[in-house]
Amino acid sequence: MDNRMVLVIMTGPDRPGIIAAVTGQIAAAGARIRDIEQTVTHTLLSLSVLIDFTAGESDQKPLVKDLLFLAKEIGLDLDFQVLTEAEYRRKSTRHAYVLTIMGGEVNAVALARISRILADHEVNIERISKLTQGQLRCVEFLVTVPPGLDVKAMTRTLLGEGGSLGVDIAVQKEGLYRRAKRLIVMDMDSTLIQIEVIDELARLAGVGAEVEAITERAMNGELDFSGALRARVALLKGLPADALEEVYRTIPFTPGAKTLVRVLKRLGFRTAVISGGFSFFTDRLKAELGLDYAFANALEIKNGRVTGEVSGPIVDGARKAELLEEIAVREGITLDQVIAIGDGANDLPMLGKAGLGIAFNAKARVREQADTHINQQSLDSILYLLGLSERDMTEIGE
């Protein structure tokens, strides 16, 4: 038996009691609600209700007429559209994604050009939400894409357009795992903190220029990470151990880093730092920020001085990915529930392993290979990718 559906759209000034009146009218007519959605922008309400009529059980005409009268009584405008079951099913076969746009300002030009790309790919925008307060700096689109669309190719087009517009764009499949993230794994240097620790140690050892040159090439993926680390550490030979404490005391956290960790911990996330740097620093960051895990290389110190050697296996890109997976197994979560953040070429393996891998203010090669990259001043902007609004962050962080 075929179903007949009517999509009813009501718009107008918001006030208490509207949902109660509308759903009461539908219930009295013996009809069923297949779908319902309401949004309020400032004081203007938009209510959409998909009403399902099974042939022989109810008739849509009297109900639509009654809803028209009700809308007039409560000061709303009403429009409606009759849908067939085939039309409804065709709509439901489209896959949902979330597109997040963020920047210093998300202006009309950016929205127009991004939405045009979506339209050109036959992507429909179902819902738009503002995630920031005051100025429009982050907006989230819930979109549906037609079957067979190459979403990755469309995403590359969007990322290129975002670069020219000065905004960051992230595309994620909407679903349970987007909302069920439970572990965040962060790189340390130039991610959780704003410096490369080894460069600061080299400066105190008088070999700053030599070490910085090697670091830059290693982070861009031009050099083997393990070999580059050993070469840089060898240049630190003889550095007093007190220099490590001196560097730690002056470490500048990336803006938003403490907020990011505080908010996620209150949401029940497990937190980890996995670094190609040194455990002297990650252990202290773990204690200061209340992180659950910390892994890094052991810088060998004897008789109060750096020996120029690293103890134990090197935490390179492959090891970072292994450690991420080990933590997930220990916590009993899937990789889809993991967020990984980093900036260097040695972070790419763990970014690829995580359900959401984010290149944060990353080197050029990393931006090209990562599925998601953002260039924002504050690390807590990553919370927008989880659908959290600025208001949510304030409430949770208090």
Instruction: Check which CATH number belongs to the domain holding 102 and give it.
Output: 3.30.70.260
Question: What is the CATH number for 225?
Answer: 3.40.50.1000
Provide the CB-side half-sphere exposure for 83 (13 A, CA): 20
Q: In what order do the strands lie in the sheet with 270-278?
A: 305-311, 293-302, 270-278, 183-186, 338-342, 356-360, 372-374
| 161 and 221 housed in the same domain | no
| 241 and 107 housed in the same domain | no
pLDDT-derived band at 147 (thresholds 50, 70, 90) equals confident
| 250 and 118 housed in the same domain | no
- Among residues 21, 54, 88, the one where a domain terminates is 88
Residues with a known catalytic role? 187, 189
Structural domain boundaries, residue 56: 3-88
- Report pLDDT for 42: 84
Phi, psi of 132 (to 5 degrees): -105, 160
Structure token digits, residue 355: 């359900």
Whole-angstrom CA distances from 64 to 25, 47, 316 are 10, 15, 65
| 234 and 361 housed in the same domain | yes
Helix (H) or strand (E) holding 120: helix 108-120
Q: Which residue has the tokens 């009759």?
A: 82
- Among residues 141, 174, 207, the one where a domain terminates is 174
pTM over 0.75: yes
- Report pLDDT for 122: 94
- Report pLDDT for 183: 97
End-to-end CA distance of the chain: 55
Reading phi first (left if > 0) and then psi (alpha if -120 to 50, else beta), residue 30 is in left
| 336 and 222 housed in the same domain | yes
| 136 and 260 housed in the same domain | no
Count CB atoms within 10 A of the CB of residue 246: 12
| 218 and 318 housed in the same domain | yes
- Among residues 174, 205, 227, the one where a domain terminates is 174
| 233 and 308 housed in the same domain | yes
Q: How far apart are CA 242 and CA 251, in angstroms?
A: 15
| β-strand partners of 124 | 144
Q: What is the largest CA-CA distance in the chain?
A: 91
Structure token digits, residue 102: 């963020």
At 340-396, the pLDDT tens digits run 999 999 999 999 999 999 999 998 888 888 889 999 999 999 999 999 999 998 888
| 165 and 289 housed in the same domain | no
Look at the chain and report how many structural domains it folds into.
Answer: 3
Whole-angstrom CA distances from 210 to 173, 235, 243, 343, 361 are 44, 8, 18, 21, 24
| 151 and 215 housed in the same domain | no
- Report pLDDT for 2: 55
| 145 and 169 housed in the same domain | yes
- Report pLDDT for 367: 87
Q: 61 versus 341: which is more confidently predicted?
A: 341
Give which of 99, 94, 121 is closest to 111, Cα–Cα.
99
| 291 and 355 housed in the same domain | yes
Q: Is the pLDDT of residue 398 over 70?
A: no
